[in-house]
Amino acid sequence: MAAPHSLASSDLAVDARDLTKTFRSGWLRPRRTEALRGASLQVPRGAIFGLLGPNGAGKTTLLSILATLLIPDGGSARVLGYDVVREAREVRRRLNMASGNASFVWSLRPPEVLAFYGRLYGLHGRALRQRVEELIELCELGPHRTTEYNELSTGLKQRLAFAKALLNRPEVLFLDEPTLGLDPDVSIRIRAQIASLRRDQGTTIILTTHYMREAEELCDEIAFIKGGRILARGAADALKRQIRIGEVVSLRLDPAEPAGLAELSGVLAVRRRADAVEVTVDTVEKRLPELLRWLHGQSVEVRDCRVRESDLEEVFVELNR
Amino acid sequence: MSSTAEAAAAIRGHIRPPAREPEGLVHEWVRTWAFAHRNLIMARRNVFFLFELTFWPGVAMLSHGLLTRFLELTPQMTAFILAGTVALSTVQVCQLDVAYAVLFDIWSKSMKHQFLAPVSIRHLAVGAWLVGVGRGLVVFALMAAIGSSAFGFDFLGAGPASLAVFLAGCFLSSLIIGLFVCALVILFGTRAESSAWAAVNFLVMLAGIYYPVSVLPGWAQTASAFIPLTYFLDAFRAGYGFEPAFAHPALFGFALSGLYLALAHWALAAAITRSRRTGLLLKLSE
């Protein structure tokens, strides 16, 4: 699915077209797994872009190809104008990546991990020491500078992975499940840092996440990937409209869930949530008065009524059908 | 933010990407030093690294030295055997450091971070090898001290130049072996580790480690002619009065090493490319 905006190629941080990738495994019983089946993705420079999809959808494969860690079987991909296969070294100088399950050499301490990878990006002398200190401070790793990596908690490991991903001041940053398994307060801080990276340094960020709220909060645009293909893309609001999964009327009723609600015209779904009933309707302006009239006719008392848009979770569920 | 295009355009409008300075020799050295420094930290922090540096070489020198006493070998024959003992221990310790450049990342499942950075094989190989050379020299010094004090073996008996050529040959062989081990591990995963080192011991056996290659069966003698260490041992032992089996052995050894070094570099590059293609590079990070 192409980008909805017509941008010059120089304005694109990522330009991937028809990427295919099949993994083969097993000698006696060869198995093929088609991870990508013609995925195309264009991301403008300076955007925060979310890649959402179920497990095995192809998110990590797509990011890994863009990060030069995997070679695609077919199609082409350019990052900042450089071909990810033929000009991989130029791409690597300008991008970085952090993943939620990152791991580093067990005996190294946070400043040593950062210094090692900093040197791999060509940093040295005072510039290296300064950058390591900046990132230790930014990711609040100061009190743990003498702790060996395998002694760090999951949250600290993830913060270290995030710090490592910023070492070379990347123009494009890939974040694979950056807040996976983190405490809410740490997740909030990481999200704030992601937003400030784009704001202060113009970094293009592509992140994969399972957390719809995170994607809605951070991303200018979101793409849904499933079965190795991009199914839909757009701003969160536009996606909800595009997929036409309606709006949700949340009702507290007495009796709590009257029979026959799901059979009403324009009602797409009825769900029980805590002490409320959530009725998803195609057009709230048209269906809400009809719904209230019907409830009145059934002698059902309406104690509370709220209307909200479907969230991305519901878009996601809809696309997964 | 209403749309990506607007948001991104606003960002593009007021922020310029960081300038990337052109890279030169300093950057080459910095990347090389990264691997050397990491190996040094790991060696310093892990007591078992000290163990492999002192215990096994010490045990090897003492047991082989005592064997030469039991067999009542002449000083010349003792030199023949102990030269092989030194070669084996030095090569084993040094090649291990080269392999660590990849193995540390495999064991810690951090492989992808290394290959996400703009590094080349030469950086990881030379960086780790430099530490290997340092550790190999420590092993040599320890063995020389035990050999001369306990068994009267003079390691400078063949002359300083001959010793330098011998050690250079051992270290070059280590680099080649280490690179091939890295290639095998990247190609087949950690299950290739033990077979890679088994192959190392087999090659050393063919190189005439404790005996002249003339005692090997015909096919093994042919095979030994393709192993650089055969020539370096031959050249070093010639300094103790043994008839060399080859003409210009040191020259042959270096020429063959150059060839294998190029081949090992190519093999590792091909293994990395293949693992990027098959996805093993990512699997090694999971």
In a domain, B17, yes or no: no
| Chain A residue with Cα closest to B43 | A107
Average predicted confidence (pLDDT) for chain B:
89
Residue contact A69–B281, C-beta within 8 A: yes
Task: Please list, residue by residue across A223-235, b when 16 or more beta carbons sit within 10 angstroms of its beta carbon and e when fewer do.
Answer: bbbbebbbbbbbb
Residues of A in contact with B105 (CB under 8 A): 105
Asked if B15's CB is within 8 angstroms of A201's CB, the reply is yes
* Contact between A275 and A267 (Cβ < 8 Å): no
Q: For each of the domains in chain A, give its residue range(s) and CATH number, in order of start.
A: 9-241 (3.40.50.300), 244-320 (3.30.70)
Least confident stretch, A213-217, B11-15, B154-158: B11-15
Q: A104: closest CA among B111, B193, B48, B272?
A: B111
CB contact under 8 A, B11 and A7: no
Q: Is B50 on the interface with A (CB under 8 A)?
A: no
Binary contact (B285, A89; C-beta < 8 A): no
What ipTM score was computed for the predicted complex, to two decimals? 0.87
If you measure CA to CA, which chain A residue comes closest to B106?
Answer: A105
Quick check: B4 and A101 CB within 8 A?
no
Interface of B with A in 85-104 (CB under 8 A): 104
Nearest by CB to A103, which of B10, B26, B108? B108
In a domain, B178, yes or no: yes
Please tell me the distance in Å from A220's CA to the nearest CA on chain B.
Answer: 5
Q: What is the pLDDT of residue A311?
A: 64
* Model pLDDT, residue A185: 81
Nearest to A211 by CA among A100, A45, A67: A100
Q: Which among A15, A25, A69 is the top mutation candidate for probing chain B, defined by the most B β-carbons within 10 Å of its own β-carbon?
A: A69
- Using CB atoms, pick whichever of B27, B30, B279 lies closest to residue A23: B279
Q: Determine the pLDDT at residue A315.
A: 67
**Has residue B12 been placed in a domain?**
no
Q: Are A105 and B104 in contact (CB under 8 A)?
A: yes
| A106: closest chain B residue by CA | B108
Please compute the mean of the pLDDT values over residues B78-105 and round it to a whole number: 91
Cβ-proximal residues to A240 (8 Å cutoff; 6+ apart), any chain: A309, A310, A312, A315
Q: Do A120 and B104 touch (CB under 8 A)?
A: no
Among the partner residues B2, B12, B34, nearest to A120 by beta-carbon distance: B34
For position A312, what pLDDT does the model report?
63
Give residue-wise pLDDT tens across range B27-46. Answer: 999 999 999 999 999 988 88
Q: How many CB atoms lie within 10 A of CB B89?
A: 24
Kindly state the average pLDDT of the residues B80-98. Answer: 92
Nearest to residue A62, comparing CAs of A203, A181, A176? A176
Could you say which of B8, B41, B113 has the minimum Cβ distance to residue A47? Answer: B8
Return the DSSP state at B215: G
In a domain, B9, yes or no: no
**pLDDT of B201-217, one tens digit each?**
888 899 999 999 999 99
Contacts of B5 in chain A (CB under 8 A): 5, 7, 44
B18 domain-assigned: no
One digit per residue, the tens of pLDDT, for chain A of length 321 reads 444 445 666 789 999 999 999 998 877 788 888 999 999 999 999 999 999 888 888 999 999 999 999 999 999 999 999 999 999 999 999 999 998 777 899 999 999 999 999 999 999 999 999 999 999 998 889 999 999 999 999 888 988 999 999 999 999 999 988 887 777 887 888 888 898 888 888 899 999 987 777 888 889 999 988 889 998 888 877 776 666 667 789 999 888 778 888 888 888 888 888 888 988 887 788 889 999 999 989 888 999 999 876 666 666 666 666
* A chain contacts of residue B104, beta-carbon cutoff 8 Å: 105
Q: How many domains does chain B have?
A: 1
Q: Is B14 within the bounds of a domain?
A: no
A260 CA to chain B: closest CA distance, Å?
39
Which amino acid would we find at residue A47? A
- Kindly report the nearest CA distance between residue A5 and chain B, in angstroms: 7
CB B172 within 8 A of CB B257: yes
B273 touches chain A (CB under 8 A): yes
Please report the pLDDT score of residue B21 as a whole number. 72
B210 within a domain of the structure (yes/no): yes
User: How many beta-carbon pairs under 8 angstroms link A with B?
Assistant: 150
pLDDT attached to residue B276: 94
pLDDT at B1: 43
Domain coverage including residue B269: 28-283
Q: Do A64 and B4 touch (CB under 8 A)?
A: no
pLDDT at residue number A199: 87
Beta strands in chain B (DSSP E): none
Q: How large is the greatest C-alpha to C-alpha distance in chain B, in angstroms?
A: 90
Q: Which residues of A touch B277 (CB under 8 A)?
A: 70-71
The rounded distance, in Å, linking the Cα atoms of A120 and A117 is 5
Token couple for A172: 């494009």
Does any domain span residue B132? yes
Residues of A in contact with B14 (CB under 8 A): 202
